[in-house]
Amino acid sequence: MLDIKLLRQEPELVRENIRKKFQDAKLPLVDEVLDFDAAYRETLAKAEALRARRNGGSKEIGRLMAQGKRGEAEALKAEIARLGGELDALAEDEKRLQEEVRQRMLVIPNIIDDSVPLGRDDTENVELRRYGEPTVPPYEIPYHAEIMEKLSGLDLDAARKTSGNGFYYLTGDVARLHSAILSYARDFMIDRGFTYCIPPYMIRGNVVTGVMSFAEMDNMMYKIEGEDLYLIGTSEHSMIGRYIDTILKKESLPLCMTSFSPCFRKEAGAHGIEERGVYRIHQFEKQEMIVLCEPEQSMEWFHKLYGYTVEFFRSLEIPVRTLECCSGDLADLKVKSVDVEAWSPRQQKYFEVGSCSNLGDAQARRLGIRVKKEGGNYFAHTLNNTCVAPPRMLIAFLENHYQADGGVTIPAALQPYMGGKPNIR
């Protein structure tokens, strides 16, 4: 959510940012906010003037009573009572106008960084760099679900019976590989100075609207029927929500955390949810990175975070590339975002396995996360990034380590988490 002062002082900057994101339908919101904000401030001024009259009248009543002018005092009392009624009505107007402003401000997108490439959708994202040599072996690599099934590691049919499409059972060495990757990711981030956390897997509605846009919420979140609770789509939601209405000490920043959680997503409108595989699913696990920092440090942390994901995948001998998200592909709260994509030797192309986002002060402003400072507190900046999210990561792992005999090799970095096994067969 933007600072209302920015809309008042530079409305054209906000309009131009909306155009850069190809969301022209939202342009009228700027004028609507300005109109409601002007009415809100006018109402505040009227209320302040009435309070001044009421306070002055209260003092005058005492003076009139002391002079024995009871009739004049009673008349003044009646007027003050009337002023009280007007103030109550103005208070209701203030509340209504403030909510009108807030509801529109929640929909107006955050100001993107000047370095973000302009484009309408993900087809116009820009490749930044490749890491590792993408190779295609001289033998055929089966579809990932087939690899898992041959290793007695995947049961989609049973999952459909218990839960429907978009769910899975992992078993045996494949399930162990899944857990090993997450355990390795946990230690990988702890070794880089991040504090390990396990957050709540459900959050309240005010936290949901604090960490994401309405469009994301509708497409992603599962709501618990009859309760003000939602299943998290990523641990970032509850990790950032942890600091709602908190004033942080400047010396405590940056706060660097790595969190594990299951993630639940509706994937509304997604294509391929019923395909025979685990690429797009309703439930998965993830090791996340979250940073709260000073505003001037957020871009430095942004580059560090996605660099850690690249380093993690390369330590498992998986080629990756980084892709900068264009303006039209950025969610409304994001200032800048980079996707990390892994190489698929079967498809001979890269596919997304993680995303790093700098949200500026948008989440902090919505949730009231401030940094203490003499002369006035200010909002922290928040960032999040995927370290690893199996089972999607399993697709990249299995394809890049699949052998001609049907086995899968285990890189040295992961072998301690797999009981020393050099391969699975």
Contact 54, 81 (CB under 8 A): no
Largest CA distance in the chain: 108
Q: What are phi and psi of 170, to 5 degrees?
A: -105, 140
Catalytic residue among 355, 365, 370, 399: 355
What angle (nearest 5°) sits at the alpha carbon of residue 405, between those of residues 146 and 275?
10
Based on its alpha-carbon atoms, the radius of gyration of the chain, rounded to whole angstroms, reads 28
Residue 192 annotated to the active site: no
The number of C-alpha atoms within 13 Å of 345 and in the hemisphere containing its C-beta is 21
Q: What are phi and psi of 320, to 5 degrees?
A: -140, 165
Instruction: Tell me which residue of 418, 413, 336, 417 sits closest to 382, measured CA to CA.
Output: 336
Residue 355 annotated to the active site: yes
Q: How far is CA 8 from CA 11, 38, 75, 140, 359, in A?
A: 6, 9, 42, 61, 22
Residue 163 annotated to the active site: no
Catalytic residue among 104, 186, 265, 321: 265
Residue 352 annotated to the active site: yes
Catalytic residue among 179, 280, 311, 314: 280
Catalytic residue among 60, 124, 149, 352: 352
Residue 392 annotated to the active site: yes
**Distance in angstroms (rounded) separating the CA atoms of residues 73 and 18:** 57
Residues annotated as catalytic (active site), given as ranges: 265, 280, 352, 355, 392
